[in-house]
Structure formats: C-alpha cells, structure tokens
Amino acid sequence: MKIAQIAPPWLSIPPKNYGGAEVVIYNLIEEFVSQGHDVTLFASGDARTSAKLVSFFPKSLIERGVPWSAHLKAYYHLYKSLEHADEFDIVHTHLSSSSDLYIFPLTASLTTPHVTTLHSRFPFDRVNTWTGDADDLYMEWAPYVPMIAISESARAEVSHELNFVGVVPHGLMMEQFRPTGRKRGDFFVWLGRFVPDKGVHLAIEAAKRAQVPVVLAGTIDRYSQESVHYFQEIIKPLIDEKQIRYVGPVNMKEKISLLSRARGFLNPIEWEEPFGMVMIESMALGCPVISFARGAAPEIIVSGKTGFLVHDLDEMVACIPHIDEIDRDVTRMHVEEHFSAHVMAQEYIEIYKKLVNTWDNVPRPFTAEPVMSLPY
Amino acid sequence: MKIAQIAPPWLSIPPKNYGGAEVVIYNLIEEFVSQGHDVTLFASGDARTSAKLVSFFPKSLIERGVPWSAHLKAYYHLYKSLEHADEFDIVHTHLSSSSDLYIFPLTASLTTPHVTTLHSRFPFDRVNTWTGDADDLYMEWAPYVPMIAISESARAEVSHELNFVGVVPHGLMMEQFRPTGRKRGDFFVWLGRFVPDKGVHLAIEAAKRAQVPVVLAGTIDRYSQESVHYFQEIIKPLIDEKQIRYVGPVNMKEKISLLSRARGFLNPIEWEEPFGMVMIESMALGCPVISFARGAAPEIIVSGKTGFLVHDLDEMVACIPHIDEIDRDVTRMHVEEHFSAHVMAQEYIEIYKKLVNTWDNVPRPFTAEPVMSLPY
C-alpha cells in the first residue's frame, strides 16, 4: 500500500529519550517497509527512517526549544503534510498532544482514506495546569475522523464520542529487544518518565517492604514542572544509592541490558495508563512485570504467566518473592505473539484495507454544499 | 454591501478595558450599519453590536481565563466563522495576536473576496518571552491574503512581505468623543496599558522636570508579567499622589472627562507604535498631544497645530509650557476630518469595492489542482 505517516513534529522519530507515540511510529514504519509497503514519513528533518522522509523544517520542535503551547509551527507541519494526502492509499495521523487536535478539522473531509491513532488521554486543550473546553467543540468533526485506540482500556476510558474503527496494541522490534543473556541481578527495576501517575514512590515503597533492591532509570522531563517537582521533592530523598538507586536516563542498549538483568519490573501505576510500552519492553527481555491492574495492564500481562496483576501495594509486596516462578522464556514469547511490530503492522494494514474498501461509506460533513475550498 | 467582520475571540466587542483592535471593529461596524450596510459580526456572545451577531461560544476567551497561548478555541472560532464566507460580498478579518496567524492558511484560497487588517507587529509566534519562527513559514500564504495597514509607519515597519492593498487609520465615533466643557485642569495626562514601550516613566520624568502635575490612568495587564513588573517596580515608586497621581483603569465616561480636562497628553513612546488610538481620542476631546515622533505619531499629529512632535525628553520638557498655544477646537477638527469612524468606514468600503471588482485578479494558490477540500 502507499502509506502516509504524519508524525507529530515535537520529538524526533525515533525519540532520543522518552516518546511513546514516536517509538510506535518508528517501529510501524520500519516493519511496513520490510513488508514491502511504500511508506512516506512526514516528520521533522532529524527523523531516522527507512521510509521516504518529507520535512517542512529540519529539527523537531522540542529540540528547537519550542514550548508545547506554541502551536503555529506544529499546525504548519500538519497542514503542509495533508496537502499531499491524495498521493496515498491511506493517511495515518497521531493524536498525542494538544496541537494534534487540529487533526479533527483538517482531516474531517479528506477525500483520501485516513485514520488517527489516539496515543494520549483527553482533554487535549491544556497549557501546563490549565485545562480548557476546546475538546468538546472539536468533537463536531469526530464522526468523520476514524480512530484507533491502543488498548481496549484506552478506548473505554475516552470521555468523548469518537469514531473508533479498531484497537491496535503497540508492538516492539523483537530482534532489537533480545535478552543479553548476561548474569541476572538481584534487583527489581522501574523505568520511565518521572511523573506521579507512574507511581515511582510506590515502587520504592514496595521494594523497601519486600527488602529487595530497586534500580530506577529514566528521564526527568525538564519542560514539565510536575516532573521536576516530583523527582526533586518526592523521589530524590528516597534514593540511598544502596537499596534504592537511580542510574539516570538510559539509551536503548542500557535499557536492554538493565531489563535483561532485572528480576522483575515494578509498575504500580496510579492512573488508567492507555498502554504502557515499558511493560512489553520488559517482558520481551524476559523480565516479568508486577503491575497494578489498571489501564491496559490486564490486556498486556497474563497474571501468573508473564508477571502478576495486583490491586494494591500489599499484593505487590506479596508477589515480589514469587517473581522467579515466572518463566522468562514464556514472558518473551507472549510479547512475540501479541506485541511485536510485525503483529502491530499486520493489524494496522487490516484496518487500512477495511477503510480503503469501505471509504465511500464513511460519513463526511458538508459534502453536499462546499462553500469554500482551501489551497490543498 | 454584505460584510462579514470576524473579530478575534479574546476580548469582547467593544472591549471592557483595553483592546485597540476591538474598539476599531466596534466603531467600524456601528458606522457601517448606520450607513446602511448589511453587517454580520462573528464574535463571542458577549459582543455588543448593531450588526447581526454569530457566536460559537458565549464568552470572550480572556473572560474565561483562557491563556493567550491556548489556540484551540480561537482557531475553532476562526474556522467556523469562515464556513460562512460565501454568504458575504467581503470577509474582513483582523490580525492582532498569535492565534490570528491561522488567518493566512485559512483564508488564502477563499473564493469570497477577503481582507485582513494588521493591528499589531510581527512576529506573532510568541509565548510570553519566547519567540519562534513560524511567522516566516506562514508567509507562504501572504501573497494570497490582501492586507490593510493602520498607518504608513506600520506598513513600512513590517518585517515580512505582505500583500498590502491599502492603509486605513483608526477612526473614532465623534459624537461619543465630545469634550465635556467642564473646567480645565492644570494637569497633563498619560493613559493606556502599562508597558515599558509606552514610556510612562518618561512621561513622569518630563512632568517632574517641567514642574507640572501628571495624572496616570489605565490598566495593568495582569496576564502580562511584563506589565505587572513594569508597574510594580518602575512606576509605582514614582507615584506620590501629589504631582504624580494614578487613578486606575477608567471607563469611557471617565476617560472622556479626564482627557477633556487635561492640558495636554504626554506620549513619550519607546517603539514604532503602529497607530496610537489614545492620541486621536485625546485630540478629539481637544487635548493636544506631545509625542515622540515615532511610529504613526507623525501621521496623526500636526506639530504646532494639534500638539507637538518631539525627538527626546528635553524637547518634550521644552514644549510643555507651550501647550496652551494649541487651539483645542482645531485639534478636535483635525480628528473629525481624518480620524472619524465615518472617514474610516468610507475608506474601508472603497477598498472592499476595489477588491470585489478585481477579485479574479487576486492570485490564489494551488487552484489548478486542488488535492483536497475541507468541510466548508
């Protein structure tokens, strides 16, 4: 198929550090190309991809220091990308942060079949701690924008009426996520972006109560007051560099090494996380996950087989001594079967085909009487 | 003519306090209606107008506490307003703050004749003290967006290549701005929004050196750090409530009373102000203006006849004793002839007609091969 992937222009593809949507877009494209599809990626010029790359500026916006609330350049990227829509069989966009909400008006009556993956949670009309009500207004176009959720939980949690056409979980490049085979450590691990919702403080408490060491790794988002404050005020005082260690942000190689060696991953999330990429990364490396049974976790973990689903801190503490009963090969195999880039790409292609074949049936607004045409 | 006025949705029409573009839009519409034109105002529901009003939400965004950087709702207002474009002979938009920059892509290929008044200075890609480069990208559409400047100075100062089709200075409702005839005071006046560019500290210094009292009036923009800081740190310490007084924000009646009674208006602006509404308001009330000869001031003041144009603080101090030599009736008459809403409306209508009659000649992008049509 001729596929357009329009990436949000904020982080590079793949991302330097954290960036869930950006990892997925990268994996999806690499898999599409290897399956023989003709893919064009619309992204900033610092993208690394096997697809054709079309860029409207050289650097991703965060690299250039653009504040998340400054929408003009992101809008330009989306608008200019969509000018090329008719060159493709399908146009795939990604709703991940505030400025992506323009996808609704700008794709609502594309004549080319299109679909949007919902990566984050509503509302999108946010600036720091302020929340507005523009999301409600933009739902006017929702019937005309086919959407894909990244988990059944994400789909169920959506507070607005979206036109969902499917659920496709994230997928990993299995050849990249291969256990190192190096000596197993005695430690548990937590890895991610430091925000209260991820429950890092609970992971620390669980490790303390179960008397096991825990290694923390990942990024403090210096553009997010919440992230900086959470790390400095709540997490940092708990780090003793003996039982509780923080090793900083990790690159891909370090992440694979760390997760391969860890006994288990602690995931006491305090929100309905729509997916949880780090859970499948961990499992792909044989590292079982003990997670609160919230968000997409019950769709990702088979409790007792690839880790444990627990309902509170007591249960997490109780499960920690049982972690070595989980077969690390079975854990990896579960990811291979359900959460590989290969599987993800196949599921997307199926939805693309269905959309292309039924496109005339997709309702489109105002088509009877267009009163104006825009320059693309 | 059937005229659409699309106001920015941030402040009410007319504005509660400060809002240059909003005053002009209000005046222009009232004058159009009284001249028999069929006018529709697209604005938030708190607008007061003699035109038909079309609103997509009830309250102006600042009233609702929306941060200036949160563009989604402002974009919705603009997008929805433009859906009605073909119902009019001419569509008139206003470029005044960051979110108005979407006017460029959204009007570039309107089939209905349209024109945009430039009220503020480039760049528009700004969030607080951060400045981006999106303005450059948006100039792609500039050839297809006819623009009107509010002064020759404003037009000359523009750092980008815009498609200017005329210059129309702001105009006042002369029946509203009528000198009260009450007893003249001995004081000079400064009135406006407290920001360093307005040179309030210089007005104070001039008054001190010339040994005349000065009354300060106007708003501290609590949404602008710069404004709050300037007032608190620089201006407030200079207020002695004897020679230097601050009377707070003023409503229309208070403004008219204050300017009618003042001996003169001090306007030591520290930037190329594109217009300077308060100068014509002051002059309309017979109050002559001593202004630095910057920005549009030389187009507004006839030095020696309606006030004085000066080049530095020394000259301003030297002119203050001569203020009573200016004929206050001549000052008002000058505004009546050049800066009334009546004159402004006539000048706009002339440009509208020229645009309507020559619209086929206005270049439009991509018309040869539209690859997508949006839902309006």
Residue A374 in contact with partner chain B when CB distance is under 8 A: yes
Burial (CB count within 10 angstroms: exposed 0-12, middle 13-18, buried 19+), residue A135: buried
A137–B101: do the CB atoms touch at under 8 Å? no
- B/e letters for B122-141, b = 16+ CB within 10 Å, e = fewer, are bbbbbbeeeebebbbbbbbb
Looking at residue A13, its pLDDT comes to 97
A contacts of B112 (beta carbons < 8 Å): 372
Residues of chain A falling short of pLDDT 70: 361-376
Q: Determine the Cα angle at B276 with ends B270 and B281, to 5°.
A: 135
List the structure tokens of B101: 């920059």
Would you call B210 helix, strand, or coil by DSSP?
A: helix
CB A241 within 8 A of CB A209: no
Are B27 and B35 contacting, i.e. CB atoms less than 8 angstroms apart? no
Inform me whether the C-beta atom of residue B112 falls under 8 Å from chain A C-beta atoms. yes
Task: Give the tokens for residue B157.
Answer: 């100062």
**B142 burial level (CB within 10 Å; 0-12, 13-18, 19+):** middle
Give the residue from A154, A149, A148, A97 showing the smallest Cα distance to A125. Answer: A97
Closest CA to A165 of A364, A353, A32, A360: A353
pLDDT, greater one: B369 or A33 = A33
DSSP secondary structure code for residue A11 in this structure: S
Whether chain A has a CB inside 8 Å of the CB on B365: the answer is: yes
Is the Cβ pair B375, A105 closer than 8 Å? yes
> Does B293 have pLDDT greater than 70?
yes
Contacts 24+ apart (CB under 8 A), A154-161: A154/A118, A154/A121, A154/A274, A154/A275, A154/A295, A154/A296, A157/A121, A157/A272, A157/A274, A157/A295, A158/A118, A158/A121, A158/A122, A159/A122, A159/A123, A160/A122, A160/A135, A160/A136
- Distance CA(A135)–CA(A98), nearest Å, equals 10
Render A24-59 in DSSP notation, one character per residue.
Answer: HHHHHHHHHHHTT-EEEEE--TT---SSEEE-SSSS
Dump pLDDT digits (tens) for B133-169. 999 999 999 999 999 999 999 999 998 999 999 999 9
Q: Which of A71, A87, A372 is nearest residue B82 as measured by Cβ atoms? A: A372
Q: Assess whether the previous peptide bond of A123 is cis (omega < 30° from 0).
A: yes
Q: Check residue A224 and give its pLDDT.
A: 82
* pLDDT digits 0-9 by tens, A312-343: 999 999 999 999 999 999 999 999 999 999 99
- Tell me, yes or no, if A129 comes closer than 8 A to chain B by beta carbon: no
pLDDT at B368 over 60: no
The model's pLDDT over B306-365, given as tens digits with 9 standing for 90+, comes to 999 999 999 999 999 999 999 999 999 999 999 999 999 999 999 999 999 999 866 665
Instruction: Inform me whether the C-beta atom of residue A69 falls under 8 Å from chain B C-beta atoms.
Output: yes
pLDDT interval class at B224 (50, 70, 90):
confident
**Rounded to an integer, what distance in angstroms lies between the CA atom of residue B305 and that of residue B134?**
43
User: According to the model, what pLDDT value does residue A367 have?
Assistant: 39
Identify the H or E element spanning A261. helix A252-261
**Which among A84, A99, A90, A265 is positioned nearest to A187, based on CA atoms?**
A265
Among residues A331, A278, A349, A371, which one has the least CA distance to residue A113?
Answer: A349
Inter-chain touch B134–A108, beta carbons under 8 Å: no
Tokens 């400054």 belong to residue:
A70
- Considering chain B, what percentage of its residues have pLDDT values greater than 90? 89
> Residue A370's closest chain B neighbor by CA?
B376
Task: Give per-residue pLDDT as tens, B212-221.
Answer: 999 999 999 8
Q: Name beta bridge partners: A218.
A: A192
Question: What span, in angstroms and rounded, lies between the C-alpha atoms of A108 and A114?
Answer: 9
Predicted pLDDT of residue B109:
85
Quick one: pLDDT at residue B365? 54
Is residue B195 within 8 A of residue B226, CB to CB? The reply is yes
Q: What is the mean pLDDT of residues B90-97?
A: 98
The model's pLDDT over A20-39, given as tens digits with 9 standing for 90+, comes to 899 999 999 999 999 999 99
Q: Rounded CA gap, B170 and B184, in Å?
A: 27
Region B51-57: mean pLDDT is 97
Q: Which residues, including other chains, have CB under 8 Å from residue B325's CB and lie 6 or more apart?
A: none
Q: How far apart are CA A288 and CA A145, in angstroms?
A: 37
From B73, B83, B125, residue closest to A134, measured CB to CB = B73
CA dihedral for B354, B355, B360, B364, sign (positive or negative): positive
Q: Quick one: chain B helix, strand, coil %, rounded to 5?
A: 40, 20, 40
DSSP state of B173: -
| pTM, to two decimals | 0.90
**Alpha-carbon span B56 to B42, nearest angstrom:** 8
**Residue B182 pLDDT class (50, 70, 90 cuts):** confident
Under 8 Å between Cβ of B376 and B167: no
Please determine, for residue B371, whether its predicted confidence score (pLDDT) is greater than 60.
no
Token couple for B87: 């119902």
Closest CB to B86 among A57, A101, A372: A372
Measured between CB atoms, which of B69, B125, B375 is closest to A108? Answer: B375
